[in-house]
Structure 1
Amino acid sequence: MSLAFFLALAVVAFAYLGYPMAMAALARLRPLPIQPPTPISREPRIDVLLVVHDGASLLAAKLHNLLALDYPSSHLRVNVVCDGCRDGSERIARGFPSDRVRVFAYTQRRGKSACLGQVLPQLDAELVLFCDVRQRIDAGAARALVAALADPTVGAASGELLLQADTGYGQGVDAYWRYEKWLRRLESASGSLVGVTGALYAARREAIASVPAGIVLDDMWIPLGIAAAGYRVVFAPEALAYDRVASNPADEERRKRRTLAGNFQLLHHWPQLALPGAHPLALRLWGHKWLRLAVPWCLLLMLLSNAALFDQGLGWRVLMAAQLAAYAVAWLGRVRPAITTRWWPLRVCAAFVSLNFAAAMALFDYLRHPDAHLWHPSPDRIPAP
């Protein structure tokens, strides 16, 4: 039992500490900086691709935001894809007072990846900028992404999503997101990311492979396909997007469960992603993604094996008490978020346990509904400047 406990602990420790340390060592010992653009580099044309389902309350503000980006107006076009909208989104897009907005509308809702797969072959700009309707994008984001893509070895560049949090629970999620962005910086500095921020990223159009219908994580499928073609996928921290953490833990957990279920879908549809040597980023995927899917089951094994060893000494009893205390804090963080507001370790603990509960439930979600790729629009508004 003690062997099971420590093996499970080793998996958890490597997933959240060992892998980031390995990336930090690589970034320091074998850095791969992004080559800066030359002074004579021209500004490539950009097709912004925005898929919307019933986003009428946000769409006008988003279009104003995109058309105000600090980039030559003659080189940036916004393509709005209405996916079975019933709330006037298509009317708002078609009536928007700019000839730089082009609309694609589908009467039947098919899901985001199906829309991407249909529209991408119809674009002709050199770069495609992907975004979602909810988040506000910083004015300099397009230029920052273009600067990263000026390096000929780079095929896709991810922006940075800044989360605004009001509650104790939301602040815990934000703390975890800061950790995630730190890890992405290390991955970028040593090679490639394994995924991008769906709220804001750009890619070379010629490097984007076909996108099949029904994919949940198009923001992993597309960059992983680009990496398979031999390009790097990098992080451009100067390209900023702003969003707000859901104040209700249940809403944030639902969103996280859908994302984590998408990881299981990726493994199902593209099993080579788990085979070292079959994909250039397979080992990084194990460190950053696949081991994390195993962490909740490792935590359960630690708890059960610790319970079996409870009478074997004071050390085991202390470990058991520590685990139970962590789960108690997580429960309090869900039902009484204000309790964890004052102390960041409690916020992080609650967010960590919530994340791993979502990862465990995501497996069952995917097994029950392997084709649950349609999303529901969030009521959150675009964060104000």
Structure 2
Amino acid sequence: MTVATSLFWIFLFGAVYSYFLYPLLLILMPKRRRVEAISETMPPSISPPKLSFVITAFNEENGIRAKIENTLTVNYPPELLEIIVASDGSTDSTNDIVLEYAAQGVRLAKVDEQKGKENAQRFAIDQAKGDIIVFSDVSTRIEPQSLHIIANAFLDPEVGAVSSEDRFITSNGEVAGEGAYVKYEMWLRKLESSVCSLVGLSGSFFAARKEICADWDITVPSDFNTALSCVLNDKAAVTVPNLLGFYPNLADESKEYQRKLRTVIRGIAALFNRIEVANPFRFGFFAVQVISHKVMRWLVPWFLAGLMLTNLILLGQGFIYQLIFIGQLAFYTVATLGWVSQKLRLNSLIKIPFFFTQVNIAIAHATLQYLGGKRVTHWKPSKR
């Protein structure tokens, strides 16, 4: 076997591992817990915990009122719920709108200078009085029973954080069908939650015990960092199928690339800040999850590039190499069609290759930017 042949099969394994073989590994692993819908009512013999509901906002004058109104519809004892809007240096009328709801128990936590979402969240955490802290974005809508579901999830002392499941809504407010990628990610979360612990949470709507939030790093994404904090504190982050967060797609699809760039740069920074979680001798199978879900996925674009290069070298070595090369050409040709025509992307057969290729180009770009010293702590939120 030549060096090129060995590298080809290594690159092929690396390209398919994170997306296909890792989920298969999770399916085969013994299950630690059942992932199922949680009751929407608290057992009568148990007193509900006090919750702090934190909404992070930066110049959200067009959306903050609807978000507060939505939050006020939740079915939870008002004496056990505080709503805090963490305004991240807003310069529009966001703060004034929030103050209109002071009589209804909504509190403004005003950060004078914009320093990023995580900084505003930490500012709110320092003021929060709840045992459980719930985090939600302005664009995310929740259901009235959501907080009871969260409270019931934390009846399990092993649970340190709870993640919602993502649902998209259309421009006219109707729930849209789940895309293939969202379905895949939610399915993968269920598997991770049942085997060990989530590697990441839904940043738009999640909750954590206050002690898990004690070590809050303002330089890295709170959804990923909170999942890591759970394991570092001998707790688990879990997903709850009937805890739903509804949010619209990006208004400008061209912003998706920039969002992915930002997410990967911040994710790499978060992992390197807590690289010990990748040690299987200390953290067992969770370390395998981190490497499989994050590190191996960040390496996919480089595996794909190596696969194409070695495939070209081996074209004359047999039919299997020719077949795989034709498959690669066909896949990237379809992806290119999606790139040149937004209308063609409405077809799932084109949208999936396009999205996969776009994501991996963004991952490669973000990795190079990270290695070049770029860090992202705050940004202008994408319009939804």
Instruction: Tell me, yes or no, whether TM beats 0.5.
Output: yes
Cα distance between partner residues in 1 of 2:251 and 2:106: 33
1:173: how far off? Answer: 8.7
Residues 187-208 of structure 1: per-residue CA shift (max 9 Å, x gap): 1112211111011111111232
Alignment-mate amino acid for residue 140 of structure 2:
Q
Residue in 2 that maps onto 1:383: none
Tell me the amino acid that sits aligned with residue 353 of structure 1: T
Q: Residues 238-295 of structure 1, C-alpha deviation per residue, up to 9 Å, x if partnerless?
A: 1111122236442112111211111211133222133223446222111111100011
Quote the residue 1:17 is aligned against.
20
Q: In structure 2, what is the Cα distance between the partners aligned to 1:96 and 1:115?
A: 19
What displacement does 1:228 show? 1.0
Matched, 1:230 2:231: no
Q: Does structure 1 retain, via aligned residues, the 8 Å contact 2:59–2:93?
A: yes
Which consecutive residues of structure 2, in runs of 5 or more, have no partner in the other structure?
none
The code of the aligned residue for 2:60 comes to: G
The one of 133, 137, 145 aligned to 2:138: 133
Contact 1:12 1:295 in 2 (8 A): yes
What residue identity is the alignment partner of 1:13?
V
Is the 1:59–1:89 contact (alpha carbons within 8 Å) kept by the matching residues of 2? yes
Deviations, residues 123-153 of structure 1 (Å, cap 9, x unaligned): 1111100111111112222111111111111
CA distance in 2, matches of 1:172, 1:139: 21
1:150-229 residue pairs with structure 2 within 5 A?
A: 150-164=155-169, 174-215=179-220, 217-229=221-233
Secondary structure in structure 2 of the residue aligned to 1:136? coil
What's the counterpart of residue 259 of structure 2?
Answer: 255
Separation in 2 of the partners of 1:198 and 1:10?
30
- For residues 199 and 65 of structure 2, the distance between their equivalents in structure 1, rounded to whole angstroms, comes to 32
TM-score, normalisation: structure 1: 0.90
2:34 matched residue in structure 1 = 33
Matches within 5 A, 1:369-380: 370-380=374-384
Contact 1:145-1:159 at 8 Å conserved across structures: no
Query: Sequence identity, in percent?
Result: 28
- 2:129 & 2:102 partners in 1: Cα distance? 23
Pick from 256, 268, 275 the counterpart of residue 264 of structure 1. 268
Return the offset for 1:302. Answer: 0.3
- 1:366 maps to what in 2? 370
CA deviation profile, 1:3-24 (whole Å, cap 9, x unmatched): 1111111112221111111112
CA shift for structure 1 position 118: 2.8
Q: Deviations over 1:99-130 (max 9, x none)?
A: 31111112211112222223312211111001
Q: CA RMSD in A?
A: 2.2
Q: Report what 1:121 is aligned to.
A: 126
Aligned pairs for 1:66-85 (under 5 A) are 66-85=71-90
1:331 aligns to what SS in structure 2?
helix
Residue 372 of structure 1 deviates from its aligned partner by: 1.9
Match of 1:339 in 2: 344
Q: Aligned equivalents of 1:369 and 1:103: distance in 2?
A: 35
CA distance in 1 between partners of 2:295 and 2:246 (Å): 28
How far apart, CA to CA, are the structure 2 residues paired with 1:249 and 1:331? 16
Distance 1:304 1:172, change over 3 A: farther
How far apart, in 2, do the equivalents of 1:277 and 1:294 lie? 23
